[in-house]
Structure 1
Amino acid sequence: MSIAWGSLLVVFIVSFGSAVAVVVLVAFALVALSGRATATAPDSRPALMTAGTGTAVAGICLVAAAAIVLYGLYIIVA
């Protein structure tokens, strides 16, 4: 029995990249939601995005992160 180190390296790189992508997308979603909160605060500095834009960006980021997770689960089950 031998270990296919090349295949193991490919699996590690893909799983690491997927994990980083999910974390970055969730972080962007949280930043977009916090931008939405500061846009509605009465005594805050001007926001970079409106409340609607922040919600849309957060929704898109969370849907993309969920799609990555669900695709990974599909690959495992199939």
Structure 2
Amino acid sequence: MNIDWAALGSVFGVSLVVTVGLVGLFTLGIVGLSKVSSTSSRSAGTSAPAASSPAPAASPGGSAALARTGAYLCFGLCAAAVAYGIHLIVA
């Protein structure tokens, strides 16, 4: 039996990089959705007196929409990478 160690190392390296990349991308999606839920839970809670809290620099609705869009984009890229991997296995 003859093992091609260079090819085995190449497969290991590529799979390691892709796995870490996909986990990182999925984590960014989860963080983006948690930003959306924390923003909405803060706005839905009891309101504090206006004098005790400083005015926000930007509207929270815009940043929540941006975080949600980024999270969905991350999840979509993860789904596309998984679909491409299944395509490679089947083809």
TM over 0.5: yes
2:78 aligns to what? 65
RMSD of equivalent CA atoms: 1.7
Q: Distance in 2 between matches of 1:21 and 1:36?
A: 23
Q: Find the aligned partners of 1:73 and 1:13 in 2 and give their Cα distance.
A: 19
Kept in 2: contact 1:32–1:55 (CA 8 A): yes
Paired residues, number: 75
Q: Deviations over 1:13-68 (max 9, x none)?
A: 1111111111001100000001111222136xx66x72211110001000111111
Runs of 4+ displaced beyond 6 Å:
none
Percent identity over the alignment?
Answer: 35
Q: Which has the higher contact order (CA 8 A, sep 6+)?
A: 2
5+ unaligned residues in a row in structure 1: which ranges?
none
User: If you compute each CA radius of gyration, which structure gives the higher value, 1 or 2?
Assistant: 2
Gaps of 5+ in 2: 46-55
Which deviates the most, 33-42 or 20-29?
33-42
- Given residue 81 of structure 2, which amino acid in structure 1 is its aligned partner? I
| 1:74 CA drift (Å) | 0.9
What residue number does 1:10 align with?
10
